Every structure is written in structure tokens, then in C-alpha cells.
Structure 1
């Protein structure tokens, strides 16, 4: 089944850490949506959300992954379905001009004043660069303000996956 990742799960290392395996298929575009960082995370920080706008000039870029159906329940749990996100079906545009259906997550617990932790923003940026998202899109991601995580051990654990030899 197809999963559209537009936040921290764009990073293949992050998604593999969570699911064990996932195959990136393509970069995809979710039209008429805007990337926001206002989803209130369980840790008190901001997480990404693909917020619908209806504006044809808006689009969220991300990565289309092929995941096994048995992994869906695990991903729902990790993402917090019923506790901050809901799973939704979306129609995506690929660079080839074709469309594809996928599932993704939309925030249900929103706080417009919250900021992401630096480590979370690192996951998003790593994934965007890994999959070759356009430089202007990456520049917008880089411009998002973020903050230190007061839990230094959590920050260390989150970024360990990018150390040489981590996760293969």
C-alpha cells in the first residue's frame, strides 16, 4: 500500500527505524494543501501537518512509500492516530503527470504557537534532501523556526540514526 510522508518520515532512516522496512517509490505532491508545523506533539513540540487550503497554488511535497499492509497498524500507532493525527486517503500528483492514491496523516490536535524541536526539523530536512526535493522547498523548510529539546537524551537518541553505520 502507498503511504505519503511529508514530515519526519520523509527520512528513510527515520521510517525504517519505526517500521523496519519501507521502499521509497517517488517524490509526490499533495495539491491544495500547505505544510504547517502546528500539530501538537506528545512531547510538547510542533510536528508537521498537511493542512488543506483549497488554494490551487499551494502544495505539500513529500515521499511516496510502498509499505506492507501489516505495517499500517504500527504506523498508525507511532503517528498517534486518535491522539493528534487522523489517517486520511489523498490523491497525489507525481512528476510523470500521473496520479496515485495513498494514505497519510492530518493533524487533529493543533497549536499554532508551538515550534518543532531542532532534531525533528533535522529529520524533515534530511528526508527532503535525501529524496531531492526542490531547493526552494528545502529553503522554506530551513526557514522554519525551531527550538532546543529540553530532554537532551531524547535529542541524542533521535539523531543517532544518522551516525555512520546506523541502520545499515
Structure 2
């Protein structure tokens, strides 16, 4: 079985969210990347809402905390489809448990970046629940909480995602 390492930093942080999309995904640990900032400025197609991007700033004081997951390589196309257009798939070498891991990560294409965008409330909640699940530091959680949101005009999509959010709130990983 050919395995890949995936670096999640946004809506795929929470293991329930990710395993719904990629059943083989298994959490390994967290890593912190200096020189990047978590931004909600990636334009989603077709709804135009803001999605997460790990934006390279080059400033060592900016950091993004990511979750490293192992998954079957055969399931990567499933995740590619979920992420959709406007992301490119890059490879990053990250440290976890004293070892380097080459992880694939989705980064927004410049053509899909708009700093005026805001996420739907459900989207930001999914990102925040993932960060809380992994017990990320309070200042990092506060940065996510401070992101302004807008209401999703599609009531069915809004309801569907809040059903997932309810499941995420009650999620307990079983070994």
C-alpha cells in the first residue's frame, strides 16, 4: 500500500472532516511552519466565498500550524476533487517527531486570491473546530475566531455543514 503524507491547515484539520473525504487518513501529529500566515482569501468556485490558504509571507514571526496525516496514495484524487479549482498541490518538507516528512499541501493560486473575501460562518467554524480538536495554542485559536464571516445564502448547504459541525463537536476518535 503506497502512502502519502498530507499537511492540513484549514477545513481538513479535523479528523472527522478529513476521513469523510479520505477514509484512509490517519493523524500523525502537528507541525508549525514559520514564514506563513493562515488567510481566508482563496476564492471558492462557484460560490465566491473565502477559503483557507497558507500564504507565504517570508516573516519568521508569522506561523501556520498544520496537521500531518498519512493516507493511501490511491485516495488523493478524492481530495483533489474536494479542494477544487484554484489550488495547486505543492510538496513541503516538514519536521515531525524529529524526522523530516515530505507532505503534499494545497496552496491557493495567485489568480484565486482576493483579500476582500470572507468565509461563510460554517466554513470558519469547521476550521476552528479542527484547530480546537488538536488543542492548538490559544493565540492561534483567537486569530481564527477574529476572522469576519458572512452567512451562506444557500440554506441547504448551510444546514448540511452545520450537521457536520454537530458531529465534529461530539467526535471521539476510536482506536
Normalising by structure 1, we get a TM-score of 0.90
1:36 to 32, 35, 39: 39
2:78 counterpart of 1:74: yes
Unaligned residue ranges in structure 1 (runs of 5+) = none
Aligned to 2:163, the other structure's residue is in SS state: helix
Q: Corresponding residue for 2:94?
A: 92
Unaligned residue ranges in structure 2 (runs of 5+) = none
Aligned to 2:37, the other structure's residue is in SS state: strand
**For residues 74 and 167 of structure 1, what CA distance do their matches in structure 2 show?**
24
Displacement of 1:162: 3.5
Is the 8 Å Cα contact of residues 126 and 165 (structure 2) preserved in structure 1? no
Q: 1:166 to 1:57 in 2, by over 3 A?
A: closer
**For residues 88 and 44 of structure 1, what CA distance do their matches in structure 2 show?**
23
Q: 1:167 to 1:51 in 2, by over 3 A?
A: same
Displacement of 1:11: 1.4
CA RMSD of aligned residues (A): 1.9
Is the 8 Å Cα contact of residues 13 and 167 (structure 1) preserved in structure 2? no
Displacement of 1:149: 0.4
Is the 8 Å Cα contact of residues 8 and 14 (structure 1) preserved in structure 2? yes
Displacement of 1:77: 1.6
Query: What's the CA shift string for 1:84-133, capped at 9, x where partnerless?
Result: 10000012233x45432201000011111110000000110110011111
1:5 to 8, 21, 39: 8
Aligned to 2:12, the other structure's residue is in SS state: helix
Displacement of 1:163: 3.4
Normalising by structure 2, we get a TM-score of 0.87
- The total of aligned residue pairs comes to 165
Displacement of 1:74: 1.2
Q: Corresponding residue for 2:157?
A: 154
2:142 to 139, 142, 155: 139
